[in-house]
Amino acid sequence: MSSLTFPVAGLIAPHIARQLVDGNHQGLIPVAVITGAMIVVLSDFIGRIIFAHIEITCVIVTMIGAPYCVYLLIQNL
């Protein structure tokens, strides 16, 4: 698995978790951890199933994470 997968998942997982738990700060960290793990596992699964001979996991996470980060930036302007 590529080393670029984890920072991108680490950037978008807390934002997704914040939307899932609303204002509950006690549940934010466990949900963020589970969300980040699910992002990494799902992208690895998709990368291994669809593109069996290419190491493409970081591209899959980046394709999901980059538009979401841009959406968050535009939303907060």
Number of domains the chain contains: 1
Quote the pLDDT of residue 41.
Answer: 84
Domain holding 40, by residue range, is 5-75
5-21 confidence digits (pLDDT tens): 667 778 888 888 988 99
Residue percentage of the chain with pLDDT more than 90: 12
CA 46, 59, 13, 74 torsion-angle sign: negative
- Retrieve residue 23's tokens: 């204002």
User: Across the chain, what does the average pLDDT equal?
Assistant: 79
- 35-39, 40-44, 54-58: least confidently modelled range: 54-58
